Amino acid sequence: MTQPPFVFDHWASAHQQRVEEVLSRTLPSEGTLPGHLHEAMRYAVLGGGKRVRALLSYAAAELAGASPIAADASAAAVELIHAFSLVHDDMPCMDDDDLRRGKPSCHKQYDDATALLVGDALQSQAFECLASTSAPQALKQVQVLATATGSRGMCGGQSIDLQSTGKLLSREALQTMHQYKTGALIEAAALLGAYAADHTHQQLITTLEQYSQHMGLAFQVVDDILDATADTQTLGKTAGKDALQEKSTYVSLLGLEEAKALVNTLYAQTLQLLASFGPQADPLRGIAKFICERPF
Amino acid sequence: MTQPPFVFDHWASAHQQRVEEVLSRTLPSEGTLPGHLHEAMRYAVLGGGKRVRALLSYAAAELAGASPIAADASAAAVELIHAFSLVHDDMPCMDDDDLRRGKPSCHKQYDDATALLVGDALQSQAFECLASTSAPQALKQVQVLATATGSRGMCGGQSIDLQSTGKLLSREALQTMHQYKTGALIEAAALLGAYAADHTHQQLITTLEQYSQHMGLAFQVVDDILDATADTQTLGKTAGKDALQEKSTYVSLLGLEEAKALVNTLYAQTLQLLASFGPQADPLRGIAKFICERPF
């Protein structure tokens, strides 16, 4: 009997729905004290987003031989961290953005103080989520996620970004900033999925690190292309912000055509990286295609 | 040969110095990218504070038979969480306080965006710190600290506090708020110290939970008394804020004399709780005395 052909869209929507249910179970209900905060946390996390990081966790888990059940905590934890970063990034003292995932951002729907606490509490929830599994490699997962989130990861990238606004960055400096700001968490998403297995070979980790570095870069270049070319309604967030804030982007640095060519190169290299794997790498291939072929 | 008598002041200053060194080693240097963020994180954490939570970790570790080395990560982690909460609490959208530990608060010394990122990154650093020990009960420590920090702990308490300002709270509601806001982290500090041992008896955990609940309450009542009676210079933070902000406090609720009597009762009950232990409980006795006898 042959396996039915892998259809990424089916796989993705099944796993998007899966992580949505896990997140809904993980976040305390609005009836749990303090109800106001829990309502705002659920508002910030549920019912939106492409869940790319969760998909990466599930896809890496599949490659590592871990079940979706084993990867649920990884997928939820990386989405909680991502949601926390969006809530804080949108605040007036940061990007000051009123729109997120097509609806009012958290501090607009509630207020600044609530948004601050929502972000803080979502970060704690991510680590609580990982620690409550007692899986063999759960402590390793905590370590990877904490490093990717903190000053030498996502938060550090935000800081570099703030310090860079209005400055002309070299391509190398831009790449470093994005490696911290978005690349670190994308890599953590994949590694957490792999560590959801009882044991993980170092060679698999190395492959996933390379995969994530390519995808992290591609993701950012595509984001810059979309910010420069798509409209606000299509994005579900404010478009054209980069130019308005005089930020260095891959589009401002390379031009639109060369930025598109870079995405194509990264996609080809990523498929090459996965060439020796069988169908258990199909979800990772599908995610690469999804990231690199977002409409532009 | 008899043991020399236990002198709490010596023990406390030795362990305050110890955690200061651990924190300084744990926080990335100002020369590590991103230097601006690391400088601000070190500013927010180092060189200040009584380190009560770290002392609780070391004291509980001693009772549980764990060495100070084993408890270093616990002590540092709880101080990192405490420092993060102070940085965020002082921000304009929360308490809007310019002064902390006798110097400009983090957002005054730097700016709001930096303070936001400092708090976020300090929280991640706390979990990274615990996870990097690979101690037998490290995952349990992550779980306890994450729960105590998040929406059903410290962040939740802040939310309840925000929702309560200007309202007259019952004593029960006030106690619930403080159990979340400060009690949860004080309890976590003690439990993390106990879990620094390779194994921990449930009976010890129960005793430490009761001890912490008494101390958490006493700590808050003393804080309310000091806010009402001491001056800003003595406190190292703005005095008289509670009355100004029309917050319910133990002083506004019970009156000054009854508040002082409550502290004395809690102290006596705490000593009773530790009566069956020998000299290995002396640090916990000393901390109780220190908390309950802060000058007022």
Give the distance from residue A266's alpha carbon to the nearest chain B alpha carbon, in angstroms: 26
Rounded to whole angstroms, the Cα distance separating A260 from A145 reads 30
Report the first-to-last Cα separation within chain A, whole angstroms.
40
Q: Determine, for residues A120 and B121 on separate chains, whether the beta-carbon distance falls below 8 Å.
A: no
Rounded to whole angstroms, the Cα distance separating A66 from A199 reads 9
Give the distance from residue A218's alpha carbon to the nearest chain B alpha carbon, in angstroms: 23
Q: Please report, to the nearest 10 degrees, the dihedral formed by the alpha carbons of residues A51, A55, A58, A63 taken in order.
A: -160
Comparing alpha-carbon positions, the chain B residue that sits nearest to A158 is: B117
Beta strand segments in chain B, E: 99-100, 103-104
Give the C-alpha distances (Å, rounded to integers) separating A105 from A76, A89, A196, A244, B150: 20, 10, 32, 20, 21
Model pTM? 0.95
Rounded to whole angstroms, the Cα distance separating A45 from B117 reads 20
Comparing alpha-carbon positions, the chain B residue that sits nearest to A151 is: B121
Assess B164–A contact: CB distance below 8 Å, yes or no. no
Assess A29–B contact: CB distance below 8 Å, yes or no. no
ipTM field: 0.95
Mean pLDDT, residues B5-10:
95
Assess B29–A contact: CB distance below 8 Å, yes or no. no
Q: Determine, for residues A146 and B125 on separate chains, whether the beta-carbon distance falls below 8 Å.
A: yes
Q: List the pLDDT tens digit at each of the 296 positions of chain A.
A: 577 889 999 999 999 999 999 999 999 999 999 999 999 999 999 987 899 999 999 999 999 999 999 999 999 999 999 999 999 999 999 999 999 988 999 999 999 999 999 999 999 999 999 999 989 999 999 999 999 999 999 999 999 999 998 888 899 999 999 999 999 999 999 999 999 999 999 999 999 999 999 999 999 999 999 988 877 666 666 766 777 677 789 999 999 999 999 999 999 999 999 999 999 999 999 999 999 987 65
Q: Over the Cα atoms of chain A, what is R_g?
A: 18
Q: Determine, for residues A151 and B111 on separate chains, whether the beta-carbon distance falls below 8 Å.
A: no
Strand B99-100 with A103-104, pairing: unpaired
Q: What residues of chain B lie within 8 A of the CB of A146, using their CB? A: 124-125, 127-128, 131
- With CA atoms as reference, report the closest residue to B59 among B270, B295, B294: B270
Burial B101-116 (b: 16+ CB within 10 A, else e): beeebbbbbbebbbbb
Q: What is the DSSP secondary structure assignment for residue A90, as one 8-state letter? A: T
pLDDT digits (tens, 9 = 90+) for B236-264: 667 667 776 777 899 999 999 999 999 99
pLDDT at B85: 98
Q: Which CATH superfamily is domain B8-292 in?
A: Farnesyl Diphosphate Synthase (1.10.600.10)
Q: What is the DSSP secondary structure assignment for residue B255, as one 8-state letter? A: -
pLDDT digits (tens, 9 = 90+) for B123-134: 999 999 999 998
Assess B179–A contact: CB distance below 8 Å, yes or no. no
Rounded to whole angstroms, the Cα distance separating B204 from B283 reads 15
Q: What residues of chain B lie within 8 A of the CB of A149, using their CB? A: 120-121, 124
Give one DSSP letter per residue of B89-146, joined into a string: HTSTTTT--SEETTEE-HHHHS-HHHHHHHHHHHHHHHHHHHHTT--TTHHHHHHHHH
Q: What residues of chain A lie within 8 A of the CB of B131, using their CB? A: 139-140, 142-143, 146
- Hey, which residues does A100 pair with through a beta bridge? A103
Run of H or E residues at B147:
helix B138-149
